[in-house]
Amino acid sequence: MKRSFAYRALALLAIVLPLLATSACAPRADDGAGDESTVVIAPALLPAPASMETRSGQFTVQTGTPVHAQGDAASRVANRFVAYLGMAGKPQPKLAAGEGEGGIRFAIEATRPDASPEAYTLDIATDGITVKAADERGLFYGAVTLWQLIAQGQGERIVLPALYIEDAPRFGWRGFMLDSARHFQSVDEVKKILDAMALHKLNTFHWHLTDDQGWRIEIKQYPRLTEIGGCRIPAGDGGKDPKTGAPRPYCGFYTQDQIRDVVKYAAERHITVVPEINVPGHATAAIAAYPEIGTIDTPLVPSSEWGVFPNLVNTEESTYQFFENVLGEVVTLFPGAYVHVGGDEAVKDQWEASARVQQRMREVGAKDEMAMQGHLVERLEKFLAGHGKRLIGWDEILEAKLPAEATVMSWRGIEGGLQAARQGHDVVMSPSSETYLDYLQTDSPNEPPGRPATITLEQVYAFEPVPAELEDSQKHHILGLQANLWTEHTRTFARLQHNAFPRLAAVAETGWTPAAKKDFTDFTARLPAQLRRYDAIGLAYARTPFEPSIAVEDDRAAGTARVTLGNALGYAIHYTTDGGEPNAQSPKYDAPLDIEVPTTLHAAVFANGRALAPASVFDLSAASMLTRTDETLSVCPDTGRLLLRLEDDGPADGERAIFNATIFYPCWQWNQADLDGIASIKVRAGRIPYYFQLAHDEPHRTFEPAKSPLGELEILGGGCKGHTLATVPMPAAPDADGFLELDAPLPAGTSGKQDLCLRFTGDTRPQMWVLDRVTLRPR
């Protein structure tokens, strides 16, 4: 299914259209005033340090400023510091031999014996800068802090204020998980993420390498894991060669040499890599490669669908040995202490139906299927312990007896973490409700595809990893927190960066900064400086949190509209109505605007005189006010469960259209649509593959019964439990462009404001109709 984004954009009342100008081209100013070469940087560090004291005086960093380091560890840090400045296009100090005088000095020196190995001090004085730590890790984080200060500035000379920082992290586990199984990232892309993590003082990279859709790590004893398990055929047009129509596989895996390269790259940035090999569920790709480890005889292929699958590995001794052999290769590649074995969403239907699994349960004394999973986890834990590793798994592993040394990653809320800590297990807090970065972060129509619900920057920042109800004696078991980015809907690296940043900055502050010093208002005040750093290193962070939102109340009879603008983060908004691009001197929005129609409104969000994102353009015309897109419609109340932002299945390469849809009940609602003078309703609909596995949630998927062979479009007034206004039969297929337009005449006398419900009847799987836009057509 193919179409143009431009066509879709024209129909949006509240669409946000990037102008040619980027924020880098907007008026810029340091956190001060005057000539950039003389501006003293106002520190806007992120994460905020534990202690910072500003003193009198200043020190200028410029090309040629000497950098001194003595010893191998300090020299490694100094070299990385200079390289990062070069990556950001900042003045590069010159590495000098020995300790020397003046300039910047990195030193490993003994500190308090109880200090964290990640602790450091940074002293900026009028005669030089000194970064000290007892361990190379701490010295590196001191270098990152200094890098942030310099990267905050502009020009050939960066003037830093004299200050003294004593700093150490709150938690030892400050993590980010990347799913490379659903969508694959190149080694260079993974390295870019590792650099970004390092510059946020994050220290744990959890690498999700196996799942139903792909096996991404080379295992030499089992080559079919990557030969077969490393490829899938995407659903719909995305899985077809655009020239021949032949199947086009989506493939990718990391060789063991590439794994070693990534692990070394991470270690140089003081990041530990935790690999994940998922068992007994999320194993379709592995079973497809080696059917003998599966529970059923039906041949499988790596899946092109998303969701929860029934496929489990079996419980035979040979399968246990298979995964011990796999882990035997894994532990040689990853020197860190932990190996993640998954354990989540292992639907037990196949085990329950298997006579052989039931017999095996009796043989090992497992009272139920969850205990059988616990038997597998215990076996793998002993194997890993024998190789000097610790097992970590998702919180489902708590549902069986858990080895004492196992660590729990709590994703289904914090309850699993509480239970684990009280049982004496170490815990990493990673609840899906606060730390899943593939969830949408704003209501903007410019958000890429994503999973249900919205997790805003503020919501991520507000998460507290140590529950107040946890007893003081058990709080030491909370190792820290981790954000997770699953990639079902993250097809491109640009989307990955959009989803991760700046929300990962909020995770970093929670992981590092003392809880008492956290303050969201202060965080948002420092965030614009962080965006400048992102710009400097070419990080494609999300612009949507820095866009203005719009709400419009139109009066068609009067030819006017009342416009309300907003920004969830509270930054200032400047606007124009004369066709010009707004700047810091343009009118500032502070109250709803009454605007004559037609008008084109330009608006942008500003901080410190600088636009934080490209200006947004809102078309306020009579025609636009009669149209709503799927993004600007509501979910039908009480019926529209699990709203997803889904991508079209074609073209095979490049940009694709995006739809908001509910897969449990295909329904959209236009609240308080003004039907006065409206003769008909025109609906543009598309069709995409239905590619979801819902496991035990499948019975909850409902739809209205079809009254004709191919189903209908139904339009109801008064909401989805209201009265039928129009019914239009659906055709067998869309038009050649993958879309169709349906015109539904309204009954005579239809008028007034009503909640319009639009829904498709019948079960059309393996495809589904999706709504693109709705237009009210006047008489």
Residue whose C-alpha is closest to residue 612's, from 574, 580, 578: 574
Looking at the annotation, which residues are catalytic?
211, 282, 345
Q: What's the token pair of residue 234?
A: 């995407």
CA–CA–CA angle 564, 569, 571 (5° rounding): 70
Tokens 């990267």 — which residue? 151
Which amino acid type is present at position 735? D
In the DSSP assignment, the letter for residue 437 is T
d(CA 57, CA 93): 20
d(CA 685, CA 758): 11
Q: Examine residue 465 and say whether the peptide bond preceding it is cis (omega within 30 degrees of 0).
A: no
d(CA 253, CA 64): 43
Helix (H) or strand (E) holding 694: none
Q: What SS3 class is residue 123?
A: strand
The CA distances from residue 572 to 45, 375, 613, 714, 715, in Å, are 22, 57, 12, 43, 40
In the DSSP assignment, the letter for residue 581 is P
Q: What's the token pair of residue 179?
A: 């799913």
Instruction: End-to-end CA distance of the chain: give it in Å, rounded.
Output: 33
Contact 553, 671 (CB under 8 A): no
Buried b (16+ CB within 10 A) or exposed e, 306-328: bbbbbbbbbbeeebbebbbebbe
CA–CA–CA angle 770, 776, 778 (5° rounding): 155
Residue whose C-alpha is closest to residue 760's, from 716, 694, 697: 716
d(CA 534, CA 676): 49
Q: What SS3 class is residue 168?
A: coil
DSSP 588-639: BP-S-EEEESSEEEEEEEEETTEESSPPEEEEE-TTGGGEEEGGGSBPPTTT
- Show Cβ contacts of residue 718 under 8 Å, excluding neighbours closer than 6 positions: 754, 755, 757
Q: Can you list the positions of beta strands (E) in 675-766?
A: 678-689, 692-693, 712-717, 723-729, 739-745, 753-760
**Cα 580 vs. chain centroid, distance in angstroms?**
34
d(CA 681, CA 344): 46
Contact 227, 290 (CB under 8 A): no
